[in-house]
Amino acid sequence: MYQYDKYDQAMVDARVADFRDQTRRRLTGEMTEEQFRPLRLMNGLYLQLHAYMLRVAVPYGTLSSRQMKMLGHIARKYDKDYGHFTTRQNIQYNWIKLEDAPDILADLASVEMHAIQTSGNCIRNISADQYAGVAADEVADPRPWAELLRQWSSFHPEFTYLPRKFKIAVIASTEDRAAMRLHDIGIELVKRDGEIGARVFAGGGMGRTPMIAPEISEFVSEDEIISYVEACLRVYNRYGRRDNKYKARIKILVHELGVAEYRRQVEEEFAHIKTLGIDPPVAELDRIRAFFADPPYETGLSDAIDRSDPDFALWVDQQVAAHKQPGYAIVNISLKPITGIPGDASSDQIELMADLAERYSFDELRVTHAQNIVLPSVRKADLYTVWQQLRGAGLAEANLDLITDIIACPGLDYCSLANARSIPVAQKIAQRFADPVRQRELGEIKLKISGCINACGHHHAGHIGILGVDRKGTENYQLLFGGSGAEDCSLGTIAGPGFDENGVVDAIEKATDLYLAQRQPGERFVDTYRRLGMAPFKEAIYG
């Protein structure tokens, strides 16, 4: 893992000191809320429905055990004994006191963490494939690039006041586990003629105007990626709309200019930027790469797994993914227990996951955009022990990518922007489909719920998506089909009139019944939907 150098630490420590002083001035009345609000937001501190909410950055979703333990400590000491892992691979605390916020930031800084750029119209936390560095299918490790982008984008003076917020994702596999093309900039590391470079996509996003990012460059050489991304940002910063926040994201600019014209402007800017020499020297990239060297894997390990315990075997089949190193496995920890809240984990659970990472996964964890946790490198011989401990903590649900592995935003239960509650709908769906046999029979179904049009729950990208709306003061839920955030990226289509909370669960059951009746061998739900189109699904749920 990357470790802060003296500059990183000095910047973060200075920000803590600044915010401590700003908070004091706010509490003593030297500063109005109007003056203080942008300052607290720059430190990830929102005022939400019930209290202040702190969003902590988890760079490219990667955490050490020490950092994870600190997240548990903060949940216990300053919050109500839990935290919420988000679709941006971050963690949020829902019950923060303003007077405690400087101490929390100091605690975070002590383990090389912060909440900087988790709000505001700046480049947000860089996201990445949660299997980075251990995936069997990647062409390179995307983490050094994500780290380089983190350093480049942190306090970047030119991009502190962009027209709107800006999200970047980096992957290095043809399988997209990070919803890369639904980011403002998506970077896919590829290999061409033996050289590593980047396919660059720009202008994707969800929200009220969902768009899939088109390809802007098919190959940018690895020593020019920063320059190219800077060029993409510069064109956006210059011409992105600032007159209307709903049209201010880069996707609108790319759409209005057209891909060819946006690309032309980026290339022109890129040619200019290349003369400035802003790309880091190879030595700096090598320095960063060294932090992400493989851990000391044991060799000669067996790939055999004792599957004599049927519950364990079920969990292995669902939660364990292929690792690049023989004898090791990637463990996905579900934060989606059937009656739970998607993405929530108690202090005890957070600390247990940290302990397991320390003992069994080279001290490392990942947060996924699907609101789960990954232990990236576990010896197959240790899987049974890890599973037993997870099971004892209520963390052994075997539902990865199944219909109960639901992405849900906090919704109206916590969020001041929301129009409808998301979590109770997720819980009702999970309870309806709780039977493990039924879930497996249905196979992969990505179900995603947002409580408003801002789409934090990624409803546009769900094989089944749900959008909560306010219909004359009553919660109403629109159903979408056919979205995907993966390499087969697509946007869902609204089926028709919305439902109440129970009605939408019934409608999903009718849609899945239709799928079971109509599917062809090997087809997932979304494949059957794409083959049949909306009409039979509409007939099933409204007929």
Partner 1 sequence: MNIVTGNDLATGDVIWWTGSGWSRHVDEAVDVGHGAEAVIETETAARRVNSAYAIEAVMDGKRVRPAHIKDRIRAVGPTVRADLGLKPADPTVGSWVI
The residues binding partner 1 (CB under 8 A) are 26-27, 29, 33, 47, 49-52, 80, 95-99, 341, 412-414, 416, 418, 421, 423-424, 427, 473-475
* Shortest distance (Å) from residue 471 CB to partner 1: 12
Task: Please write down the HEC assignment for all residues of 214-236.
Answer: CEEEEEEEHHHHHHHHHHHHHHH
Distance CA 403, CA 466 (A): 13
* Shortest distance (Å) from residue 93 CB to partner 1: 11
**Cβ closest to partner 1, residue 52 vs residue 360:** 52
User: Maximum Cα–Cα distance for the chain, whole Å?
Assistant: 68
Helix axes of 383-392 and 310-319: crossing angle, nearest 10 degrees: 100
When computed from its CA atoms, the radius of gyration of the chain, rounded to whole angstroms, is 23
**Cβ closest to partner 1, residue 97 vs residue 238:** 97
φ, ψ of residue 189 in degrees (nearest 5): -70, 135
- Structure-block tokens of residue 511: 């849609």
* Shortest distance (Å) from residue 343 CB to partner 1: 12
Task: Please write down the HEC assignment for all residues of 505-527.
Answer: HHHHHHHHHHHHHHCCCCCCHHH
**Cβ closest to partner 1, residue 189 vs residue 423:** 423
Nearest Cα to 174, choosing from 142, 150, 147? 142
**Cβ closest to partner 1, residue 99 vs residue 218:** 99
**Percent of residues in the chain assigned helix, strand, coil, to nearest 5:** 40, 20, 40
**Cβ closest to partner 1, residue 165 vs residue 421:** 421
**Cβ closest to partner 1, residue 50 vs residue 245:** 50
**Cβ closest to partner 1, residue 504 vs residue 514:** 504
Contact 177, 171 (CB under 8 A): yes
Instruction: Calculate ∠ Cα 258-261-263, nearest 5°.
Output: 105
**Cβ closest to partner 1, residue 244 vs residue 339:** 339
Phi-psi region of 299 (alpha: psi -120 to 50; beta: other; left: phi over 0): beta
HSE-CB at 101 with a 13 A cutoff on CA atoms is 35
* Shortest distance (Å) from residue 410 CB to partner 1: 8
- The SS3 call for residue 409 is coil
Q: Which residue has the tokens 């990472």?
A: 357
Q: In what order do the strands lie in the sheet with 82-85?
A: 45-47, 52-56, 91-96, 82-85, 344-346
Residues with Cβ within 8 Å of 522's Cβ and at least 6 positions away in sequence, in order, are: none
- The SS3 call for residue 36 is helix
**Cβ closest to partner 1, residue 212 vs residue 418:** 418
**Cβ closest to partner 1, residue 347 vs residue 528:** 347
**Cβ closest to partner 1, residue 83 vs residue 214:** 83
| DSSP-assigned states of every residue in 123-141 | B---EE-TTTTTBTTBSS-
* Shortest distance (Å) from residue 16 CB to partner 1: 19
In eight-state DSSP terms, residue 213 is P
